[in-house]
Amino acid sequence: MNAGPGATTSEASTPAGPDSSLVDLQPEHRSTPVKFWASIGAVFLLVEAYVIVAWLTSGQATATPRGPTHVPGWMSVLAVLAQAGSVIAGSAVAYAFLIRPWIKQRRITADGILVLVFASVYWQDPLMSYAQNQLTYNSLYVNLGSWAPHLPGWVAPRAHLVPEPLLLIGPSYIWWAFGFVTLGNLVMRRAQARWPRIGRVSLILITYGFFALTIFVIESLMMRSGVWSFPSAIRSVTLWGGHYYQLPIYEVILAAAWWTALAALRFFKDRRGNTVVERGVESVSTSGRRRTLLRLLALVGAANSIFLGYNIAYVFIGGLHAGPWPTDIQYRSYLVDNLCGPGTTYACPGPGVPIPRPGSAHLAPSGELIPSG
């Protein structure tokens, strides 16, 4: 029997460990939550496949130009190093925890499932800009634009130009996500060892604090390095407002909640080593491989649901209440990505700019109303 992805190979053979001691307080249920969550996971994967295929066949999968602004030399050097490092790290994690154990043991391990689960959420990366563009990447990085406009019901204009850094951000959904959640679980185990009687709520709050501090430091460094920016932000709750590296505080709050939820999903298990979404898998009459598939789909459903919750909250908080794009960003064509401003017929988002819908009238940078169509 395979353990859930929260366990290492050794944990798979002995599921009752420190991760499971806090949660096995209720009797076994004969219901099969795994079937419900597997269905959710299958839906997410179908939507993901539709979005990616529609994007690749649309003719919009082309690199976003950097524009006329000079890119500092140090940013160019950093881009090369960061992309190479991300590809190497992603490949190393995939090989160590997915491919190699699969070859040696003839089955996918718990951590191997986790690698696939985190890779499955990358398609949601641009979703926070659903209503209007809130996140931009540096077009210096290798990209083919974005699949964002092919997400069902997408509203923000010209989003196909957002330069998703395929070699940087893509692999990071394997190595960074895997490492970050594992690190969060280490914090939980250390806290549990330090305070053996600690309750679940306290354990989660400690983990949340750890993630909030870590995310604040990392995002601050990454944005000052010009990797990405949050041009749409509520100025009153934003640090370094007006600069290209401005950081909305609610980004840290929401992202910490996202990562804490993932860490808790991996950490808390029952006697059989199952996470809350895998429970009941043993009662399903099928082969071992199909049970592994059920586990994978269930965890895909849970991880994508958690990320979707983060994105929905960000859309409503930042997308509907943000201030104008700072001049410091609008003067950097490699961060504006030709989404709005000079050279386009779209005014950059702000309180005085109505949110345009596909095919609707919209404001030009000059303030002129551009008719629909």
* First and final C-alpha spacing in the chain: 57
pLDDT of residue 26 exceeding 80, the answer is: no
pLDDT of residue 21 exceeding 70, the answer is: no
| Residues, the chain | 373
Phi and psi angles of residue 166, each rounded to the nearest 5 degrees, phi first: -60, -40
Closest Cα partner for 255 from 319, 304, 307, 178?
A: 307
pLDDT digits (tens, 9 = 90+) for 318-338: 888 999 999 999 999 999 999
Average pLDDT over residues 30-39: 85
What letter would DSSP give residue 2? P
What letter would DSSP give residue 61? -
3-state secondary structure 99-158: HHHHHHHCCCCHHHHHHHHHHCCHHHCCHHHCCCCCCEECCCCCCCCCCHHHCCCCCCCC
Q: Report the C-alpha dihedral over residues 228, 233, 239, 241, rounded to 10 degrees.
A: 90
- For 156-212, list the strands marked E by DSSP: none
Burial (CB count within 10 angstroms: exposed 0-12, middle 13-18, buried 19+), residue 89: middle
Average pLDDT over residues 357-366: 93
pLDDT digits (tens, 9 = 90+) for 285-301: 878 889 999 999 999 99
The tokens of 85 are what?
């490092």
pLDDT digits (tens, 9 = 90+) for 83-131: 999 999 999 999 999 999 999 998 899 999 999 999 999 999 999 999 9
Question: Of 202 and 273, which is predicted with more confidence?
Answer: 202
pLDDT digits (tens, 9 = 90+) for 186-242: 999 999 999 999 999 999 999 999 999 999 999 999 999 999 999 999 999 999 999
For residue 115, CA distances in Å to 109, 121, 241, 295, 296 come to: 10, 11, 36, 13, 10
Phi and psi angles of residue 371, each rounded to the nearest 5 degrees, phi first: -60, 160
3-state secondary structure 294-361: HHHHHHHHHHHHHHHHHHHHHHHHHHHHCCCCCHHHHCCHHHHCCCCCCCCCCCCCCCCCCCCCCCCC
pLDDT digits (tens, 9 = 90+) for 52-75: 999 999 999 999 999 999 999 999
Q: What is the pLDDT of residue 310?
A: 98
pLDDT of residue 1 exceeding 70, the answer is: no
The tokens of 259 are what?
């990562």
The tokens of 117 are what?
């689960």
Q: Whole-angstrom Cα distance, residue 124 to residue 128?
A: 8
pLDDT of residue 283 exceeding 90, the answer is: no
pTM to 2 decimals?
0.89
Q: What is the pLDDT of residue 61?
A: 97
Q: Report the C-alpha dihedral over residues 29, 303, 295, 54, rounded to 10 degrees.
A: 130
Q: What is the pLDDT of residue 15?
A: 40
pLDDT digits (tens, 9 = 90+) for 157-174: 999 999 999 999 999 999
Phi and psi angles of residue 357, each rounded to the nearest 5 degrees, phi first: -105, 160
Q: What is the pLDDT of residue 30?
A: 52
Question: Of 344 and 13, which is predicted with more confidence?
Answer: 344
Amino acid at 75: M
Q: What is the pLDDT of residue 13?
A: 36
For 43, the 3-state DSSP assignment is helix
- Bridge partners, 229 (sequence order): 136
Instruction: Kindly give, in sequence order, each residue whose CB lies less than 8 Å from that of residue 194, ignoring residues fewer than 6 positions away.
Output: none
The tokens of 128 are what?
């926070």
Q: Which segment of 18-27, 94-103, 193-202, 305-314 scores lowest on mean pLDDT?
A: 18-27
Task: Report the mean per-residue pLDDT for the chain.
Answer: 91
